[in-house]
Protein backbone atom coordinates (compact mmCIF):
# COMPACT_ATOMS: atom_id res chain seq x y z
CA UNK A 1 0.00 0.00 0.00
CA UNK A 2 1.18 3.51 -0.72
CA UNK A 3 0.89 6.88 0.90
CA UNK A 4 -2.45 8.40 0.02
CA UNK A 5 -4.37 5.17 0.69
CA UNK A 6 -7.32 5.53 3.05
CA UNK A 7 -6.46 5.16 6.72
CA UNK A 8 -6.20 1.61 7.99
CA UNK A 9 -8.27 0.22 10.87
CA UNK A 10 -7.06 -2.25 13.50
CA UNK A 11 -9.36 -4.70 15.27
CA UNK A 12 -8.12 -6.41 18.46
CA UNK A 13 -10.15 -9.34 19.80
CA UNK A 14 -10.18 -10.18 23.51
CA UNK A 15 -12.16 -13.43 23.76
CA UNK A 16 -12.86 -13.74 27.49
CA UNK A 17 -16.09 -13.08 29.39
CA UNK A 18 -17.19 -13.61 32.97
CA UNK A 19 -20.18 -15.62 31.68
CA UNK A 20 -21.78 -16.52 28.34
CA UNK A 21 -25.02 -14.67 27.54
CA UNK A 22 -27.80 -16.91 26.16
CA UNK A 23 -28.23 -14.85 22.95
CA UNK A 24 -24.51 -14.44 22.17
CA UNK A 25 -22.85 -16.17 19.22
CA UNK A 26 -19.70 -14.03 19.32
CA UNK A 27 -16.30 -15.61 19.86
CA UNK A 28 -16.42 -15.37 23.64
CA UNK A 29 -15.14 -17.87 26.20
CA UNK A 30 -15.22 -18.29 29.97
CA UNK A 31 -11.91 -19.28 31.57
CA UNK A 32 -11.06 -19.61 35.26
CA UNK A 33 -7.62 -18.11 34.73
CA UNK A 34 -5.96 -16.00 32.02
CA UNK A 35 -2.19 -15.61 31.78
CA UNK A 36 -2.22 -11.88 31.17
CA UNK A 37 1.48 -11.60 30.31
CA UNK A 38 1.26 -14.42 27.77
CA UNK A 39 -1.78 -12.85 26.14
CA UNK A 40 -0.20 -9.42 25.95
CA UNK A 41 2.94 -10.83 24.33
CA UNK A 42 0.96 -12.93 21.85
CA UNK A 43 -1.18 -9.98 20.77
CA UNK A 44 1.98 -7.97 20.12
CA UNK A 45 3.47 -10.76 18.00
CA UNK A 46 0.23 -11.06 15.98
CA UNK A 47 0.15 -7.28 15.52
CA UNK A 48 3.74 -7.13 14.25
CA UNK A 49 2.97 -9.83 11.68
CA UNK A 50 0.13 -7.76 10.21
CA UNK A 51 2.15 -4.54 10.36
CA UNK A 52 4.91 -6.12 8.25
CA UNK A 53 2.32 -6.97 5.57
CA UNK A 54 0.67 -3.54 5.61
CA UNK A 55 3.54 -1.07 5.50
CA UNK A 56 3.22 2.61 4.74
CA UNK A 57 -0.25 2.95 6.22
CA UNK A 58 -1.65 5.10 9.00
CA UNK A 59 -4.22 3.98 11.57
CA UNK A 60 -7.45 5.95 11.61
CA UNK A 61 -9.08 3.73 14.22
CA UNK A 62 -8.42 0.95 16.70
CA UNK A 63 -11.23 -1.17 18.12
CA UNK A 64 -10.93 -3.54 21.07
CA UNK A 65 -13.82 -6.01 20.80
CA UNK A 66 -14.79 -9.28 22.36
CA UNK A 67 -15.62 -11.04 24.46
CA UNK A 68 -15.26 -8.39 27.13
CA UNK A 69 -12.19 -6.24 26.45
CA UNK A 70 -12.89 -4.10 29.51
CA UNK A 71 -11.52 -7.14 31.39
CA UNK A 72 -8.13 -6.46 29.78
CA UNK A 73 -5.58 -4.88 32.11
CA UNK A 74 -5.07 -1.25 31.05
CA UNK A 75 -1.36 -2.06 30.76
CA UNK A 76 -2.16 -4.57 28.01
CA UNK A 77 -4.28 -2.01 26.16
CA UNK A 78 -1.42 0.46 26.50
CA UNK A 79 1.11 -2.04 25.15
CA UNK A 80 -1.03 -2.79 22.09
CA UNK A 81 -1.61 0.90 21.38
CA UNK A 82 2.08 1.73 21.76
CA UNK A 83 3.04 -1.08 19.37
CA UNK A 84 0.33 -0.05 16.88
CA UNK A 85 1.44 3.57 16.87
CA UNK A 86 5.08 2.59 16.37
CA UNK A 87 4.20 0.21 13.55
CA UNK A 88 1.83 2.42 11.59
CA UNK A 89 1.42 5.83 13.19
CA UNK A 90 -1.90 7.32 14.24
CA UNK A 91 -4.04 9.81 12.37
CA UNK A 92 -4.29 13.09 14.34
CA UNK A 93 -7.93 12.31 15.18
CA UNK A 94 -7.49 8.56 15.67
CA UNK A 95 -10.56 6.87 17.14
CA UNK A 96 -9.72 4.28 19.80
CA UNK A 97 -12.79 2.33 20.94
CA UNK A 98 -13.12 -0.31 23.62
CA UNK A 99 -16.23 -2.41 24.27
CA UNK A 100 -17.12 -2.55 27.95
CA UNK A 101 -19.56 -4.25 30.23
CA UNK A 102 -21.27 -1.94 32.73
CA UNK A 103 -20.17 -3.68 35.91
CA UNK A 104 -18.79 -1.56 38.71
CA UNK A 105 -15.53 -3.55 38.64
CA UNK A 106 -14.94 -2.75 34.98
CA UNK A 107 -16.14 0.85 35.31
CA UNK A 108 -13.45 1.35 37.93
CA UNK A 109 -10.90 0.86 35.14
CA UNK A 110 -12.35 3.52 32.83
CA UNK A 111 -10.10 6.34 34.02
CA UNK A 112 -7.03 4.16 33.55
CA UNK A 113 -8.17 3.10 30.08
CA UNK A 114 -8.72 6.72 29.10
CA UNK A 115 -5.26 7.58 30.42
CA UNK A 116 -3.60 5.07 28.08
CA UNK A 117 -5.38 6.41 25.00
CA UNK A 118 -8.89 4.96 24.73
CA UNK A 119 -11.12 7.86 23.65
CA UNK A 120 -14.38 6.08 22.84
CA UNK A 121 -16.27 3.40 24.75
CA UNK A 122 -19.10 1.17 23.58
CA UNK A 123 -21.06 0.11 26.65
CA UNK A 124 -23.14 -3.07 26.64
CA UNK A 125 -26.11 -1.91 28.69
CA UNK A 126 -28.52 -4.05 26.57
CA UNK A 127 -31.62 -2.98 28.52
CA UNK A 128 -32.91 -0.40 30.98
CA UNK A 129 -35.23 -2.92 32.64
CA UNK A 130 -34.06 -5.25 35.40
CA UNK A 131 -36.35 -8.15 34.44
CA UNK A 132 -35.12 -7.97 30.85
CA UNK A 133 -31.50 -7.94 31.97
CA UNK A 134 -32.13 -11.14 33.93
CA UNK A 135 -33.80 -12.69 30.87
CA UNK A 136 -30.77 -11.74 28.76
CA UNK A 137 -28.41 -13.32 31.27
CA UNK A 138 -26.66 -10.07 32.09
CA UNK A 139 -24.71 -9.82 35.33
CA UNK A 140 -25.52 -6.15 35.99
CA UNK A 141 -28.72 -4.38 36.99
CA UNK A 142 -30.10 -1.09 35.70
CA UNK A 143 -28.71 1.01 38.57
CA UNK A 144 -25.22 -0.43 38.13
CA UNK A 145 -25.45 0.04 34.37
CA UNK A 146 -26.47 3.68 34.59
CA UNK A 147 -23.73 4.34 37.13
CA UNK A 148 -21.21 2.85 34.69
CA UNK A 149 -22.63 5.04 31.92
CA UNK A 150 -22.11 8.15 34.05
CA UNK A 151 -18.55 7.03 34.82
CA UNK A 152 -17.91 6.45 31.11
CA UNK A 153 -19.26 9.87 30.15
CA UNK A 154 -16.91 11.46 32.67
CA UNK A 155 -13.88 9.46 31.50
CA UNK A 156 -14.17 9.31 27.70
CA UNK A 157 -14.56 11.88 24.97
CA UNK A 158 -17.09 9.74 23.12
CA UNK A 159 -19.62 7.23 24.46
CA UNK A 160 -22.03 4.81 22.80
CA UNK A 161 -24.21 2.13 24.31
CA UNK A 162 -26.17 -0.89 23.08
CA UNK A 163 -29.78 -1.88 23.65
CA UNK A 164 -31.66 -4.98 22.51
CA UNK A 165 -35.34 -4.78 21.57
CA UNK A 166 -38.09 -6.86 19.89
CA UNK A 167 -38.04 -9.10 22.94
CA UNK A 168 -40.67 -11.71 23.81
CA UNK A 169 -43.72 -9.92 25.20
CA UNK A 170 -42.27 -6.43 24.73
CA UNK A 171 -44.96 -3.91 23.81
CA UNK A 172 -44.42 -1.00 21.44
CA UNK A 173 -45.21 1.43 24.26
CA UNK A 174 -42.68 -0.22 26.58
CA UNK A 175 -39.95 -0.03 23.96
CA UNK A 176 -40.74 3.59 23.13
CA UNK A 177 -40.52 4.50 26.82
CA UNK A 178 -37.20 2.70 27.19
CA UNK A 179 -35.79 4.31 24.05
CA UNK A 180 -36.92 7.76 25.23
CA UNK A 181 -35.08 7.14 28.49
CA UNK A 182 -31.97 6.06 26.56
CA UNK A 183 -32.06 9.15 24.36
CA UNK A 184 -32.32 11.28 27.48
CA UNK A 185 -28.83 10.24 28.58
CA UNK A 186 -27.30 12.38 25.87
CA UNK A 187 -24.80 10.02 24.25
CA UNK A 188 -23.71 10.75 20.69
CA UNK A 189 -24.27 7.20 19.43
CA UNK A 190 -26.65 4.29 20.07
CA UNK A 191 -26.52 0.73 18.74
CA UNK A 192 -30.05 -0.71 18.77
CA UNK A 193 -30.40 -4.38 17.84
CA UNK A 194 -33.47 -6.54 17.41
CA UNK A 195 -33.12 -9.81 19.28
CA UNK A 196 -32.28 -12.65 16.92
CA UNK A 197 -31.97 -16.32 17.76
CA UNK A 198 -28.54 -17.43 16.56
CA UNK A 199 -27.64 -21.09 15.99
CA UNK A 200 -25.66 -22.69 18.78
CA UNK A 201 -26.86 -20.31 21.50
CA UNK A 202 -28.92 -21.20 24.56
CA UNK A 203 -31.79 -19.16 23.15
CA UNK A 204 -31.72 -21.35 20.03
CA UNK A 205 -32.20 -24.39 22.22
CA UNK A 206 -35.06 -22.67 24.06
CA UNK A 207 -36.73 -21.64 20.80
CA UNK A 208 -36.44 -25.16 19.35
CA UNK A 209 -38.15 -26.53 22.46
CA UNK A 210 -40.98 -24.02 22.12
CA UNK A 211 -40.02 -22.14 25.28
CA UNK A 212 -39.03 -18.90 23.54
CA UNK A 213 -41.18 -16.96 21.07
CA UNK A 214 -39.66 -14.01 19.21
CA UNK A 215 -42.07 -11.32 17.91
CA UNK A 216 -43.20 -11.95 14.33
CA UNK A 217 -41.90 -9.97 11.38
CA UNK A 218 -44.77 -7.49 11.14
CA UNK A 219 -44.58 -6.56 14.80
CA UNK A 220 -40.79 -6.34 14.69
CA UNK A 221 -41.16 -4.01 11.69
CA UNK A 222 -43.43 -1.72 13.75
CA UNK A 223 -40.75 -1.56 16.45
CA UNK A 224 -38.07 -0.89 13.83
CA UNK A 225 -40.02 1.99 12.28
CA UNK A 226 -40.71 3.52 15.69
CA UNK A 227 -37.03 3.25 16.58
CA UNK A 228 -35.91 5.08 13.46
CA UNK A 229 -38.54 7.79 13.87
CA UNK A 230 -37.64 8.46 17.51
CA UNK A 231 -33.87 8.51 16.97
CA UNK A 232 -34.19 10.79 13.94
CA UNK A 233 -36.41 13.19 15.89
CA UNK A 234 -33.81 13.25 18.66
CA UNK A 235 -30.99 14.12 16.24
CA UNK A 236 -29.45 10.63 16.10
CA UNK A 237 -30.65 9.31 12.72
CA UNK A 238 -29.85 5.80 11.56
CA UNK A 239 -26.68 5.87 9.49
CA UNK A 240 -26.57 2.05 9.36
CA UNK A 241 -29.26 -0.58 9.87
CA UNK A 242 -28.83 -0.77 13.66
CA UNK A 243 -26.61 2.22 14.42
CA UNK A 244 -27.72 5.78 15.17
CA UNK A 245 -25.55 8.84 15.70
CA UNK A 246 -25.38 12.58 15.70
CA UNK A 247 -23.92 13.73 12.37
CA UNK A 248 -20.15 13.44 12.67
CA UNK A 249 -20.32 11.00 15.61
CA UNK A 250 -20.59 7.82 13.55
CA UNK A 251 -18.23 4.98 14.48
CA UNK A 252 -15.30 5.61 12.14
CA UNK A 253 -14.00 2.11 12.77
CA UNK A 254 -17.23 0.41 11.78
CA UNK A 255 -17.53 2.68 8.75
CA UNK A 256 -14.26 1.11 7.57
CA UNK A 257 -16.05 -2.25 7.44
CA UNK A 258 -19.22 -0.95 5.83
CA UNK A 259 -17.30 1.12 3.27
CA UNK A 260 -15.15 -1.91 2.51
CA UNK A 261 -11.75 -0.49 3.34
CA UNK A 262 -8.69 -2.36 4.60
CA UNK A 263 -8.51 -3.43 8.23
CA UNK A 264 -6.13 -5.65 10.16
CA UNK A 265 -7.61 -8.11 12.63
CA UNK A 266 -5.60 -9.70 15.44
CA UNK A 267 -6.53 -11.98 18.31
CA UNK A 268 -8.67 -15.16 18.37
CA UNK A 269 -11.22 -15.39 15.57
CA UNK A 270 -10.43 -11.91 14.22
CA UNK A 271 -11.15 -11.28 10.55
CA UNK A 272 -9.31 -8.82 8.32
CA UNK A 273 -9.22 -7.46 4.78
CA UNK A 274 -5.73 -6.84 3.52
CA UNK A 275 -5.56 -5.53 -0.04
CA UNK A 276 -8.12 -7.99 -1.41
CA UNK A 277 -7.05 -10.85 0.86
CA UNK A 278 -9.46 -12.11 3.51
CA UNK A 279 -7.72 -13.15 6.73
CA UNK A 280 -9.12 -15.26 9.57
CA UNK A 281 -7.40 -16.03 12.90
CA UNK A 282 -7.83 -19.26 14.84
CA UNK A 283 -11.05 -18.98 16.84
CA UNK A 284 -10.39 -20.99 20.01
CA UNK A 285 -8.14 -19.02 22.39
CA UNK A 286 -5.79 -21.93 23.07
CA UNK A 287 -5.44 -22.73 19.36
CA UNK A 288 -4.66 -19.09 18.57
CA UNK A 289 -2.03 -18.92 21.29
CA UNK A 290 -0.41 -22.11 20.01
CA UNK A 291 -0.41 -20.80 16.45
CA UNK A 292 1.25 -17.54 17.51
CA UNK A 293 3.96 -19.48 19.37
CA UNK A 294 4.45 -21.87 16.44
CA UNK A 295 4.16 -19.52 13.45
CA UNK A 296 4.64 -15.98 14.70
CA UNK A 297 0.99 -15.17 13.95
CA UNK A 298 -2.49 -16.46 14.75
CA UNK A 299 -3.66 -16.88 11.16
CA UNK A 300 -5.84 -19.86 10.29
CA UNK A 301 -6.43 -18.87 6.67
CA UNK A 302 -5.66 -16.26 4.03
CA UNK A 303 -7.75 -16.16 0.85
CA UNK A 304 -7.20 -13.90 -2.14
CA UNK A 305 -10.71 -12.83 -3.15
CA UNK A 306 -11.57 -12.63 -6.83
CA UNK A 307 -12.99 -9.35 -8.21
CA UNK A 308 -16.62 -10.53 -8.14
CA UNK A 309 -16.32 -11.64 -4.52
CA UNK A 310 -14.79 -8.30 -3.50
CA UNK A 311 -17.47 -6.29 -5.30
CA UNK A 312 -20.20 -8.48 -3.81
CA UNK A 313 -18.85 -8.04 -0.28
CA UNK A 314 -18.65 -4.28 -0.83
CA UNK A 315 -22.28 -4.22 -1.99
CA UNK A 316 -23.58 -6.33 0.88
CA UNK A 317 -21.75 -4.22 3.45
CA UNK A 318 -22.35 -0.82 1.87
CA UNK A 319 -26.08 -1.21 1.37
CA UNK A 320 -26.47 -1.39 5.15
CA UNK A 321 -25.49 2.29 5.20
CA UNK A 322 -27.96 5.11 4.66
CA UNK A 323 -25.47 6.62 2.21
CA UNK A 324 -25.43 3.44 0.10
CA UNK A 325 -22.57 2.59 -2.26
CA UNK A 326 -20.57 4.38 -4.91
CA UNK A 327 -21.27 2.51 -8.14
CA UNK A 328 -18.00 3.46 -9.81
CA UNK A 329 -16.05 1.96 -6.90
CA UNK A 330 -18.11 -1.23 -6.97
CA UNK A 331 -17.45 -1.52 -10.71
CA UNK A 332 -13.73 -0.96 -10.14
CA UNK A 333 -13.63 -3.71 -7.52
CA UNK A 334 -15.45 -6.01 -9.94
CA UNK A 335 -12.96 -5.25 -12.68
CA UNK A 336 -15.49 -3.71 -15.05
CA UNK A 337 -19.20 -3.85 -14.28
CA UNK A 338 -20.88 -3.67 -10.88
CA UNK A 339 -22.48 -7.07 -10.10
CA UNK A 340 -26.03 -5.74 -9.83
CA UNK A 341 -29.02 -7.71 -11.09
CA UNK A 342 -30.60 -5.11 -13.39
CA UNK A 343 -33.97 -6.85 -13.57
CA UNK A 344 -34.41 -7.01 -9.82
CA UNK A 345 -32.96 -3.53 -9.37
CA UNK A 346 -35.51 -2.04 -11.75
CA UNK A 347 -38.36 -3.74 -9.91
CA UNK A 348 -37.08 -2.76 -6.46
CA UNK A 349 -36.64 0.85 -7.57
CA UNK A 350 -40.19 0.94 -8.95
CA UNK A 351 -41.42 -0.32 -5.58
CA UNK A 352 -39.58 2.47 -3.80
CA UNK A 353 -37.27 0.08 -1.95
CA UNK A 354 -34.00 1.26 -3.50
CA UNK A 355 -32.85 4.50 -5.11
CA UNK A 356 -30.38 4.57 -8.02
CA UNK A 357 -28.53 7.52 -9.54
CA UNK A 358 -25.63 7.38 -11.99
CA UNK A 359 -23.29 7.68 -8.99
CA UNK A 360 -24.93 5.79 -6.13
CA UNK A 361 -27.20 2.95 -5.11
CA UNK A 362 -28.87 3.00 -1.71
CA UNK A 363 -31.69 1.31 0.13
CA UNK A 364 -34.56 3.67 0.95
CA UNK A 365 -36.21 4.09 4.32
CA UNK A 366 -39.01 1.78 3.17
CA UNK A 367 -36.46 -0.72 1.91
CA UNK A 368 -34.56 -0.77 5.19
CA UNK A 369 -37.40 -2.82 6.67
CA UNK A 370 -36.78 -5.49 4.01
CA UNK A 371 -33.00 -5.32 3.79
CA UNK A 372 -32.42 -9.04 4.35
CA UNK A 373 -34.74 -9.84 1.44
CA UNK A 374 -33.33 -7.12 -0.85
CA UNK A 375 -29.64 -7.97 -0.55
CA UNK A 376 -29.74 -11.43 -2.19
CA UNK A 377 -31.89 -10.04 -5.01
CA UNK A 378 -29.71 -7.08 -5.86
CA UNK A 379 -26.44 -9.00 -6.30
CA UNK A 380 -25.93 -10.61 -9.71
CA UNK A 381 -24.31 -14.00 -10.08
CA UNK A 382 -20.81 -14.04 -11.57
CA UNK A 383 -20.59 -14.29 -15.34
CA UNK A 384 -19.29 -17.74 -16.33
CA UNK A 385 -15.73 -17.69 -17.66
Structure confidence at residue 3 (pLDDT): 46
Any domain includes 161: yes
Single out the residue in 258, 278, 307 at which a domain terminates: 258
Residues 239, 261: Cα–Cα separation, whole Å: 17
Any domain includes 288: no
Structure confidence at residue 385 (pLDDT): 54
The Cα-based distances of 50 to 8, 84, 98, 108, 132 in angstroms read 12, 10, 20, 32, 41
Structure confidence at residue 1 (pLDDT): 38
Any domain includes 121: yes
36 contacts 66 by C-beta, under 8 angstroms: no
Burial of 342 (0-12, 13-18, 19+ CB in 10 A): exposed
**HSE value, Cβ hemisphere, 13 Å, CA-based, for 100:** 36
For residue 15, give the CATH number of its domain: 3.20.20.70
The dihedrals phi and psi of 123, each to the nearest 5 degrees, come to -100, 125
253 contacts 9 by C-beta, under 8 angstroms: yes
pTM of the model: 0.94
Residues 363, 360: Cα–Cα separation, whole Å: 10
What is the span of the domain harbouring residue 331? 323-378
Burial of 1 (0-12, 13-18, 19+ CB in 10 A): middle
Q: Which of 29, 14, 116 is nearest to 66 (CA)?
A: 14
120 with 224, same domain: the answer is: yes
DSSP state, residue 306: P
The Cα-based distances of 172 to 175, 177, 184, 219, 331 in angstroms read 5, 9, 18, 9, 42
342 with 209, same domain: the answer is: no
Single out the residue in 258, 278, 311 at which a domain terminates: 258
- Listed as ranges, residues in the chain with pLDDT below 70 are 1-4, 25, 383-385
Structure confidence at residue 9 (pLDDT): 98
244 with 365, same domain: the answer is: no
Any domain includes 205: yes
Structure confidence at residue 36 (pLDDT): 93
246 with 328, same domain: the answer is: no
70 with 183, same domain: the answer is: yes
User: pLDDT for 286-337, tens place per residue?
Assistant: 999 999 999 999 999 999 999 999 999 999 999 999 999 999 999 999 999 9
Single out the residue in 258, 273, 302 at which a domain terminates: 258
Any domain includes 172: yes
Any domain includes 372: yes
User: pLDDT for 130-152, tens place per residue?
Assistant: 999 999 998 899 999 999 999 99
Any domain includes 87: yes
Q: 276-282 contacts: CB < 8 A, separation 24 or more?
A: 276/304, 276/305, 276/310, 277/302, 277/303, 277/304, 277/305, 278/302, 278/303, 278/305, 281/13, 281/46
Amino acid sequence: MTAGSPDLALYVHWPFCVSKCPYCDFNSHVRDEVDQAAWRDALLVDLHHEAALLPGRRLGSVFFGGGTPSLMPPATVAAVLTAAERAWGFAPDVEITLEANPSSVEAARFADLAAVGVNRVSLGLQSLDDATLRFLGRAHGVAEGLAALATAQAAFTRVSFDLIYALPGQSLAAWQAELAQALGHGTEHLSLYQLTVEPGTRFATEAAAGRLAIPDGDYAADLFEATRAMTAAAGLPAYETSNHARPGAESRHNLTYWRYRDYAGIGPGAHGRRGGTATVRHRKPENWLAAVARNGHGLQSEELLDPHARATEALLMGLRLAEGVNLARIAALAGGTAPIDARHATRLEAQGLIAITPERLRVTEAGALLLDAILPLIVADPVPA
